[in-house]
Structure 1
Amino acid sequence: MIDTLKGKKGLVIGIANEDSIAWGCAKAFHDAGAELAITYVHPKTEAYSRPLAEELDVPIFMQCDVEKEDELDALFQRINEEWGELDFMLHSIAFAPKQDLGGRVTDCSREGFAKAMDISCHSFIRMARKAEPLMKNGGCLLTVSYYGAEKVVDHYNIMGPVKAALEASVRYLAAELGSGGIRVNSLSPGPIATRAASGIGHFDALLEQAKQKSPEHALVCINCVGAYARFLVSDEAHLVTGSNVYIDAGFNIMGT
């Protein structure tokens, strides 16, 4: 592995366990020479995240619930104190209350929609604001979307509009932060059996459809996503910004 990220420092939010997309990305960043900061949501998830953080020998491992502004502030303060800079950031988190995720968009509650939007979308905007002053020499902000933001996907429900807002936010952030050399992109992997995906109804059928319909007739893995993420945060992708990139074996190009 060429050390394309040697000397770079990055923040990864969203590692729940070894099946997480964020974990595939973190491994790719680390293998390319980056130094990482990793977070966990609350003490119950620490037991799953800590061994992974230790495997990558990360210098910063902190609790951070993005709904709690003081925890976000503490995280970025620690990064500033320890590193004084930040080269890239991966936001790989999404959430919707079960009753809202499982029902029609038409029936989604105000509270459920607001919570899904705050955690899945607005937290990325808040993190971008906190990361901006640390990216003194430019940098890259990444988030994770899904094809359901563009087309209606059965059982994806309220996360479709939420991810659509996330993708739009990527474009606006890219336009606003580009003059400072900060690039903003979203990754759009095909369905992957992660803990977050387990909340989507009939997910096994979604996996099978992706495999059968994609030109390569293959499912994407977290390491595939990590490889693309590694490229995007590297200097090689210095002119790639405002993009939503598909890693889905070509599923997105096929008609219904």
Structure 2
Amino acid sequence: MSEILGTAAPADRAAVAPAASDADLLSGTAEAVREAGAALRGRFGDVVRHGTREELMRALAANDDAVLEVLRPRLSRLRPGAGWVEEELAGGALPSGEWWVVDPAEGNVNHLHGLPEWAVTATLVRENRPVLTVVHLPLDGGTYTALAGEGAQLDGRVLRVSGTSDLGLGIVATSQARPDEDEAVVRSIGSSITAMLQEALVVRTAVPATLHLANLAAGRIDAFWQFAGARADLLPGALLVTEAGGRVSDAQGRPWTPDSDSFLATTPGVHAQAVAALSR
């Protein structure tokens, strides 16, 4: 298990913040994210046409702004001393303290194209450990939550990863972190898909990463990997998967942190097989 996803010992956790306080904070965060999700749902409908990259970026920003107008003040009231990560595509370790890592429209490009795979996410990171996360799907109303050391849930139902132990019987998925990845990352993505097509039952490729990881935590798929990535892409799903009993590492099986150049989450039974496939 990676350092950033490591769970503090009970005494350490109590020293940082009482468990009940974090549980109450998770409840308040879920309420805030659902309210913000309603704003994004209200903007969903016809395909938003754009003829230039500048038009696309303005449309993406308009969705983000509509959500943040609702979400940011509510989260700031919940935890006034927590910092706020301004850039949702940023990666790497955070400074000391508490930080809100938010993706106001995870899968934003899908939203603009009238596709249903998008969400609103908020994760509280404390001393570079994700403490709690909320992933809300405004179209179907589902809300995934996880609290470090306390498990993961979907609308109150406890989540567990699948018991699959044969990658050849598993559904796996991958995603691209950005549309403008450099050539080396693009080639890694292509070769990894080829490798997994030879090993897994089914390979799914789509954005966003968080929804694949939610499916993994819920036992619907068996592995997810990605090259590069941002904190807002991976932290919510990483906590969901870990709290649902899954494994998180980099693609070579080493401990994962936001500084890692690859990410792998699996059921325990296929982790070694997935690492072997991706390490070819």
> TM-score interval w.r.t. the shorter chain?
0.3 to 0.5
Structure with bigger helix share is 1
> Given the two structures, how large is their TM-score scaled by the length of structure 2?
0.31
